[in-house]
Amino acid sequence: MENAIKENKFHIYAVKNVDEAIEIIMDKKAGKLDEHGNFEKDTVNCLVIEGIRNLKKIHHNKKRLLWWK
C-alpha cells in the first residue's frame, strides 16, 4: 500500500453518504428520486432498480419469495 500511495494510485475520500461514494467509484451520477418515486434516467440507482425489475421478471414463475416484491 505504501508504494501505491507513493505512486499516486491510492486515494482516501471523505463522503457524506453512499451516493457520494458511488459517484466517486463509478464515475457516474448516483441519481435522485423524482416526485413520482423514480430515479433519474441513466444513473446508477436507476440501473440498479431496472436490474432488480428484470430479475423479478425472470423469476416471476418461481415459487420462492423474492425480497424485492
Number of domains comprising the chain:
1
Q: What is the pLDDT of residue 62?
A: 63
36 is written with which cell numbers? 413520482
Assigned domain for 69 exists: no
Q: What is the pLDDT of residue 55?
A: 85
CA distance 40 to 32: 6
Q: What is the pLDDT of residue 58?
A: 76
Assigned domain for 10 exists: yes
Assigned domain for 65 exists: no
Assigned domain for 64 exists: no
Q: What is the pLDDT of residue 1?
A: 83
Domain that holds residue 6: 2-58
First to last CA, the chain: 43
Indicate whether 68 pLDDT > 90.
no
Assigned domain for 20 exists: yes
30 is written with which cell numbers? 448516483
Give residue-wise pLDDT tens across range 13-65. Answer: 999 999 999 999 999 999 999 999 999 999 999 999 999 998 888 776 665 55
Assigned domain for 63 exists: no
pTM of the model: 0.69
